[in-house]
Amino acid sequence: MKTVSFTKMVGAGNDFVVVDYRSSHAGYGSLSKAARFLCERRNGVGADGVLVLERSKKAYFKMRIFNADGSEAEMCGNGLRCAALYAAKKRTLKIETMAGVYEAEIRGKDKVRIKMGEPGDISRDLRIKVNKRDIRVDYIDAGVPHTVIFVEGIDGIDVDSIGRNIRYHGRFRPRGTNVDFVEIVDDKNIKMRTYERGVEGETLACGTGAVASAIVSNVKCQVSSVKSGIKVHTRGGILRVYFRKSKGKIKDLYLEGEARRVYNGEVLYV
């Protein structure tokens, strides 16, 4: 049995266990196995994912994200915001991930803004069959893959059932996809619910999902990103997405929202 220190953090409803390996790698051994244990909500700490901080030659530190099922993701928008707040000893910093280096800015006590990379090309109006029904979806790579579906009556959507079928659909193999259900509120606000790949269920929020949903809502439904940004209402809180368009490309893309440290702790792990 080993005693390992951790910090529990939350970013707009996404909760994470932060493990700081910048000074030592002694502790968990298999990070995939450890993530499954730590994220389990009855016998572990309970979280959507584990953020592992390591030393980096390219940035202030490197962040690895392990999902609740033990798989390692390329990056995580809300995870980046939590990791930045956890490690911040200065107002701005750079964080290395599998998907590249991201810039973070601490704004006040608990608000963090991340400069996101340019998204991959949007594949619009893809036709797929789900539960014997033909539906149209939009696909975008926002650092991780996302499929966006516009709906009405978002509170009544069976996110887990429909999301699972799309997440594993043959059209999105081998990576699979996160699935965002979006309802347009007005020209500055959208509601979003997300089925997250790796968590294998609905989460209270998703940072990259907010980015993907805001961009597709702007492109297809003329939701405005000017000045105050697009407000993405999730079950865990509000995220803001800012960007501008230049020659058909998305530029100066930012994700902003609250993050907070919940508690520090120690866990016994075999």
Q: Which residues contact 99 (CB under 8 A, 6 or more apart)?
A: 74, 75, 117, 143, 144
Are the CB atoms for 192 and 179 separated by under 8 Å? no
Q: Six-digit token pair at 269?
A: 């792990």
Catalytic residues: 76, 206
In this structure, are strands 61-67 and 72-73 parallel, antiparallel, or unpaired?
A: antiparallel
SS3 assignment, position 129: strand
Dihedral over Cα of 63, 66, 72, 75: its sign: negative
- In 3D, which of 40, 61, 38, 58 has the Cα closest to residue 50? 38
Query: Of the candidates 25, 26, 23, 45, which has an alpha carbon nearest to the alpha carbon of residue 35?
Result: 45
